[in-house]
Structure 1
Amino acid sequence: MATFLSNTLALAALLQAPAAAQAPVNGTAADSLPALREHLARDSTDGRAWLLLGRLYLERVADAHDPPHRALGDSAAVRALLDSADDALDRAGRLLAPSGSTPDGDSARVLRVAAWSARSHLAWEQRGINVGPQEWGPVPLDLKMPPVLDELGENLLRACPMWGVLLTANEADSYAAWYMRFARGLRPDLLTVPLAAWRSDSVLRGRIAADLKLGRHRDPDATLAELAKRRPVCVTVAFDRPPGPRIGWSTRPLLWVAGPHLKDDRVPPRDFVFAALRLALDDNDAWAQPALALYARAARATPALCEALKTFRLTNEIPSCRR
């Protein structure tokens, strides 16, 4: 996402400190953290530095889930990183957007949601997917997202059939769906998982498979195919194509869906709401573009969505709806 600072190039421009205190331009997160902490010790009002610090903590958390998957072996350290990320991103949001909305302030808020999403995944790996916010939370009352992502998350959750597993594609749809599911409590029957985590994090995938009583497969797509025989599986149209070539996908508004009971729980295309997207585009909100891109793909796959998009004066932004 363009509004997020890159962890190395931004650091050199950000610190404005003597050369000895700066991380090398090609440094890693581990190289950058000490210099960034030193900078913040000198200037604790630098919101962009807090934003970068939070992002670097999240990168370390993500690294802990890579093979050999240190997250389970040292979960206390990972939780400490998540606590530090939450604190840094909370500070960043308050400093960068003390009132209202700014691109950097919204990025801090979205990344803070990412930190809480990572906290839930760690808890699932340790204790199972039925562990909810009462165990790994509570979710802070001041945790929030830009309205356009609230709306996106709600639309995605509404589109997925009852007891489904919703697989998401990128930062926008992943954090939007997670936030509306766990911070706002919508659709408690659904499980939301980024497809990238499903494929790369064998521990998380194995725990989900065990809890849903699926067979043991090393291939993520084989596990997904078995899951689709047991429960509805939903994949956002933010992807170019749905995963799992041997799975029989059908198209619904905003999603590809496979699995049982697909004749139930259909939401008519005209019932989806895009008011926040219209406002976000008018305000040049940086998070409007990923939402618009997903909706544009959805309209190509489900032309009937154009009726609802027209209601919110969005057909000019959706090429397939201009025909």
Structure 2
Amino acid sequence: MLVTLLQAPPPTPTPPTPAASPEDSLATLRGRATRDSTDAQLWLLMGRAYLGLGAEAHGATHRASEDSVWTRAVLDTAEEALARAAALAGPLGSSTVGDSARVLRVGAWAARSWLGWETGGVDAGVETWGPLPMDLRVPPVLEELGENLLRACPAGGVLLTAGDADFYAAWYMRFARGLRPDLLVVPLAAWRSDAVLRARLAADLKLKTHAGADAWLGELVRRRPVCASMAFERPPETRPRIRWDTRPLVWVAGPEGKGSRVPPRDFVFGALRVALDANDPWAEPALTAYARAARTTPALCEAIATFRVSSEVGTCRR
């Protein structure tokens, strides 16, 4: 018996199970939705999956312009699924699922605006899709983050964002609330990965043509102020190197003009306090950005103390 086992060929290894493609995952989710159309979590997952497909269309392997109909359809489906998730989950602030659906729904509208930028330029943007829905919302802690970031950026600037939280927050306050219409809000990852979007923005901003994203960014800094959200761990590193100055909540490069700066004591953190008390998961990215800002601008601690957030911000503890 032992000899037989030793002489036998080794067993054929079981091939690893391939990861499910987005299409497979969506097929599963659609099947579940057919059986239970009242599951808010299910609609959130479906909306997130479609939003991911729409975001991929703006990545390094940018879909051809003739595929814009496909991208629009994907983003339409994402928006509808996320709106349904939010409606099923209850009012704003009543559930994590509902609030996440609302935030990602803003992301779907932001991705739609990129399509508008690519085809019609910066001035088209949101207008390409008509007015934003009246029920488009983000949690108050993100409204506050978006307002603080926009207020920190000099007049006529471009605000570069680091991740979903600061981008959706700033985009929402800029386009849904109409705050700081003089600013552009651009995710740095999209600027670097989406050559089509970058080329269109560069043309509208009258930048010289360059091969790389960093070269274009350097040209932008020479023409107008550029702000980098402190949701970044550090200001963007580029070649050639850009000189960044520290301001409350942002790093700034480029000409600032004569506009007045917002004093550190004038920023607000009341919604952050409420979100922390409610264990709102969207409080965490806001707190991370504010804590980094307090380390670089200690004068922010006065306002942070006013809103009783000092204990959560290590630099401001006494």
Unaligned 5+ runs, structure 1: 1-23
- Equivalent of 1:314 in 287, 303, 309: 309
Matches within 5 A, 1:17-96: 26-70=19-63, 72-96=65-89
- Equivalent of 2:250 in 255, 264, 271: 255
- Equivalent of 1:176 in 169, 173, 196: 169
Deviation string for 1:233-257 (max 9, x for gaps)?
0001111211226111100000000
Deviation string for 1:147-182 (max 9, x for gaps)?
000000000000001100000001110000000000
Partner of 2:111: 118
What is the percentage of aligned positions where both structures have the same residue?
64
- Equivalent of 1:218 in 198, 206, 211: 211
Contact 2:112 2:126 in 1 (8 A): no
- Greater Cα shift, 141-150 or 66-75: 66-75
Partner of 1:264: 259
Contact 1:253 1:298 in 2 (8 A): yes
Matches within 5 A, 1:270-289: 270-289=265-284
Matches within 5 A, 1:91-102: 91-98=84-91, 100-102=93-95
Are 1:290 and 2:282 matched, yes or no?
Answer: no
What secondary structure sits across from 2:97 in the alignment?
helix
Partner of 2:4: none
Contact 1:232 1:261 in 2 (8 A): yes
| Letter in structure 2 aligned against 1:309 | I
Matches within 5 A, 1:190-229: 190-229=183-222
Q: Work out the CA distance in 2 between the residues paired with 1:136 and 1:279.
A: 34
Partner of 1:104: 97
Are 1:305 and 2:283 matched, yes or no?
Answer: no
| Letter in structure 1 aligned against 2:270 | A
Q: TM (normalized to structure 1)? A: 0.90
- Equivalent of 1:235 in 228, 243, 255: 228
Q: Work out the CA distance in 1 between the residues paired with 2:313 and 2:60.
A: 41
Displaced runs of 4 or more, over 3 A: none
Q: Work out the CA distance in 2 between the residues paired with 1:301 and 1:262.
A: 23
- Greater Cα shift, 143-152 or 210-219: 210-219
Question: Please, what is the CA RMSD of the aligned residues?
Answer: 1.5
Contact 2:156 2:224 in 1 (8 A): yes
Alignment size in residue pairs: 300
Unaligned 5+ runs, structure 2: 1-16
| Letter in structure 1 aligned against 2:48 | R
Task: Identify if the C-alpha distance between structure 1 residues 96 and 219 changes in structure 2 by more than 3 Å, giving closer, same or farther.
Answer: same
| Letter in structure 2 aligned against 1:280 | A
Q: Work out the CA distance in 2 between the residues paired with 1:49 and 1:41.
A: 11
Q: TM (normalized to structure 2)? A: 0.91
Structure having the higher Rg: 2
Q: Work out the CA distance in 2 between the residues paired with 1:71 and 1:290.
A: 34
Partner of 1:3: none
Partner of 2:6: none
Q: Work out the CA distance in 2 between the residues paired with 1:159 and 1:189.
A: 13
Instruction: Give the superposition deviation at 1:99.
Output: 6.3
What secondary structure sits across from 2:252 in the alignment?
strand
Instruction: Give the superposition deviation at 1:262.
Output: 5.2
